[in-house]
Structure 1
Amino acid sequence: MEHHHHSHSGAGLAEAAQVAMERAGEQWTPMRAAVFGALASFEKPASAYDIAEKVSQDQGRRVAANSVYRILDLFVGSNLARRVESANAYVANDHPDCVHDCIFLICDECGQATHMDDDSLSKNVRAAAKKAGFAPVRPVIEVHGRCEDCAGD
């Protein structure tokens, strides 16, 4: 079962992120906006260090990775970003107004991470965990392999 939602991009994505953050009772500060903008600018999952470097370059001053990690944790908690666990990296959530479990398809050759939704799969993972006596909080489903472009080479 596919999950349908409205994806945002560009200025619309930043605006949707700000609305979602404020709806969660958090402020949309200039630094949070800068970190989100940097995160959204990456084509592939980015580490906190990649994001700190980009924000530092954009602002002409050093921004510590620790500050970026705190903001990214807030973004993940507010559904503005997703963490690609196996890569210790992050991607901007292009539909922050929609909360659900997601699946990442990660190319081991080029590093691209494609986000997909399959509510029936995540529902089954949650049900299996409950059947085993485990209380699932956040299923993490990542599939490693080769993307269509790399598989075609």
Structure 2
Amino acid sequence: MGVHHHAHHEGHDLVVAARHALERAGQQWTGMRQSVFEALSAFDRPASAYDIAEEVSRRQGRRVAANSVYRILDLFVGANLVRRVESANAYVANEHPDCLHDCIFLVCDSCGQTTHIDDDSVASNLRGAAARTGFAPERPVIEVHGRCSDCAES
């Protein structure tokens, strides 16, 4: 299978794709959910629920609790709109919420930039290794820490 290529949504198209994915999952796209998704997708690196709550609060001119944002993020992760970077306890918008793949994150330890890639052969090998031990993986997340190309050059 190898690396999977598809169109990545961004800006307004990403919000529309996320809304359709959430509605296909049987959930409503509310104003607050849209605000959380738009705030998250505006970050250029993984954002914590507190970062997102602060940004939504700033945009709306009223305080939004991080607990509310956590609940929405959990819903988004379950519906494939958002990916969770486990080691950073942070989130990134899924640029292709219409495709379901196991996550591979390349995390730069210098600048924090996180790149999400899909490589079905790596994920397939991981699932196979787990299955051989009798383990049934539900949502593998692979995180590779190192230095991004920008930091490696400096």
Letter in 1 for 2:66: A
Q: Which residue of 1 aligns with 2:73?
A: 72
Q: Structure 1 stretches of 5 or more lacking a match?
A: none
Q: Which residue of 1 aligns with 2:90?
A: 89
Q: Which residue of 2 aligns with 1:2?
A: 3
Q: Which residue of 1 aligns with 2:144?
A: 143
Q: Which residue of 2 aligns with 1:30?
A: 31
CA distance in 2, matches of 1:138, 1:22: 21
CA distance in 1, matches of 2:26, 2:7: 22
1:142 alignment partner, SS class: strand
Question: TM-score under structure 1 normalisation?
Answer: 0.99
Question: TM-score under structure 2 normalisation?
Answer: 0.98
CA distance in 1, matches of 2:119, 2:16: 26
2:68 alignment partner, SS class: helix
Deviation of 1:66 after TM superposition, in Å, equals 0.3
CA distance in 2, matches of 1:35, 1:55: 6
2:107 alignment partner, SS class: strand
CA distance in 2, matches of 1:8, 1:59: 25
Which portions of structure 1, spanning 4 or more consecutive aligned residues, are displaced by more than 6 angstroms?
none
Deviation of 1:4 after TM superposition, in Å, equals 2.0
Tell me, yes or no, if structure 1 residue 58 matches structure 2 residue 75. Answer: no
CA distance in 2, matches of 1:64, 1:144: 31
Aligned length: 153
Once the two structures are superposed, residues 60-87 of structure 1 have per-residue CA deviations (whole angstroms, 9 ceiling, x without a partner) of: 0000000000000000000000000000
Percent identity over the alignment is 71
Deviation of 1:120 after TM superposition, in Å, equals 0.4
CA distance in 1, matches of 2:140, 2:55: 30
Deviation of 1:134 after TM superposition, in Å, equals 0.7
Report 1:44-55 matches (<5 A). Answer: 44-55=45-56
Deviation of 1:133 after TM superposition, in Å, equals 1.2
Q: Structure 2 stretches of 5 or more lacking a match?
A: none
CA distance in 2, matches of 1:5, 1:147: 22
Q: CA RMSD in A?
A: 0.5
Deviation of 1:114 after TM superposition, in Å, equals 0.4
Q: Which residue of 2 aligns with 1:115?
A: 116
